[in-house]
Amino acid sequence: MKNQRLVITSCLLMGLIACFLTGCTSQARKPVVGSALGQDMLTLLPADTSAFFVLDLNRLINLKTIEKKLLEQKEFESYKQKIEAFNLDLKKDVYYLTLAVAGEINKPADGLAAVINLKYQQDKLMPPGTTDKNPEIKTYNGISYFPMIESEGKTIVCLAFLDSSNLALGSEGAIKKIIDVYNGKVPNLLSNKNIQPVIKDLNTRAMTFGWLMVPSQLLESEFNENPSMAPLSKVRSVSSFSDYKNSSYMTEIKIYAGQKDDLKPIADILSGFKSLGLGLGNQTPQLAEVIQGIEITTTEKYLKIFISLNEEQVEAIGKLIKEKGRDTKPVRQGED
């Protein structure tokens, strides 16, 4: 009996140690509607993905403040009716939306794709009168897809039915990449060792989170004529997340550079922009308060920009934008 207790105690202890060593985080898996987490959506993206953005649509659409804003939009009702025509309830059936460039960032059109985690009925999304036997319904590695948007005889966007929880939209090439990932024929994004540290730094439980790889040659050419901005050419990637807690909206942006020493010059430039913004915003106290609240800090790994806005600040900025829009609107002849 004592030996049995010793074995059980040892197993529990080893389990606790393993849990703490791994940070008690669950492993990402294929997203299942209703139980999926944000990080699960990354298991459907190829390892060579150069940008992604994940939205927790279910949480976002059910926020009272967001719902109120949507209802104020004139176009919302028509969009809602179009979605309901597919037998979908935007507030109950749609969970995650992931936008990605499945390939080189320099060729976004070739790799642009979206993966949606939702409850759906396949027959409701098929074109009227089509069946699995129609020639326009194609199959790739056991998964059906069909042209959704065509222009001048060319397919622009395809729709693929990955499983009962996930759809994929994008170019035919991007769709096939995602199908290969889904079937385990090619590695997914989380297997990419270069991005693993970035994912670890990301809050994948936030309402939105994303990452973008920045090609070095893209910024180098832009800043050649402006040496004061040259440090920005050292930016290699940018990640971000946004969330809503305690009646406040928060956004965090992390900037990664080639070397640690590249971060401080970048922080100095951003701090200069902040000071300039404060000077321009002196006549608008609400805007000055928001700019003043922007935090810019550097660590060993990245530069962090953080901002938190309460409901009142968001409302004030919204009103300011509307006022500025009216001020800049051109006056037609005959109008006072």
Domain termination residue (choose one: 131, 161, 193)? 193
Given a cut of 50, whether residue 56 has pLDDT beyond it is yes
Q: What is the mean pLDDT of residues 186-209?
A: 94
Q: Is 265 inside a domain boundary?
A: yes
Tell me, what's the pLDDT at 133?
55
Same domain, 241 and 279: yes
Same domain, 266 and 133: no
Q: Is 187 inside a domain boundary?
A: yes
Tell me, what's the pLDDT at 299?
93
More confident call, 49 vs 326 = 49
Same domain, 267 and 177: no
Neighbouring-strand partners of residue 254: 239, 304
Tell me, what's the pLDDT at 123?
82
Whole-number percent of the chain with pLDDT over 70? 83
Q: Is 3 inside a domain boundary?
A: no
Q: Is 224 inside a domain boundary?
A: yes
Q: How many domains does the chain have?
A: 2
Same domain, 174 and 46: yes
Quick one: pLDDT band at residue 244, thresholds 50, 70, 90? very high
Quick one: pLDDT band at residue 35, thresholds 50, 70, 90? very high
Q: What is the mean pLDDT of residues 22-49?
A: 85
Domain that holds residue 234: 214-326
Kindly report which listed range (52-61, 85-94, 244-253) carries the lowest average pLDDT score. 85-94
Q: Is 283 inside a domain boundary?
A: yes
Same domain, 220 and 108: no
- pLDDT tens track for 148-161: 887 776 778 999 99
Q: What percent helix, strand, coil does the chain show, rounded to 5?
A: 40, 25, 30
Same domain, 33 and 172: yes
Q: Is 122 inside a domain boundary?
A: yes
Same domain, 176 and 249: no
Same domain, 127 and 82: yes
Cβ atoms of 83 and 124 closer than 8 Å = no
Same domain, 257 and 153: no
Cβ atoms of 62 and 91 closer than 8 Å = yes
Q: Is 2 inside a domain boundary?
A: no
Angle of helix 64-72 versus helix 76-84 axis, rounded to 10: 110
Given a cut of 60, whether residue 106 has pLDDT beyond it is yes
More confident call, 220 vs 210 = 210
Residue 217 half-sphere exposure toward CB, CA atoms < 13 A: 2
- pLDDT tens track for 249-301: 999 999 999 899 999 999 999 999 999 888 876 667 878 888 899 999 999 99
Same domain, 64 and 163: yes
Quick one: pLDDT band at residue 331, thresholds 50, 70, 90? low
Domain termination residue (choose one: 160, 193, 226)? 193
Instruction: Give the strand pairing for 295-298 and 248-257.
Output: unpaired
Given a cut of 70, whether residue 219 has pLDDT beyond it is no
Q: Is 225 inside a domain boundary?
A: yes
Average pLDDT, the chain: 83
- DSSP assignment of 71-112 equals HHSTTHHHHHHHHHTTT--TTTTEEEEEEEE-S-TT-HHHHE
Domain termination residue (choose one: 159, 193, 227)? 193
Same domain, 136 and 232: no
Same domain, 30 and 173: yes
pTM of the entire predicted model: 0.83
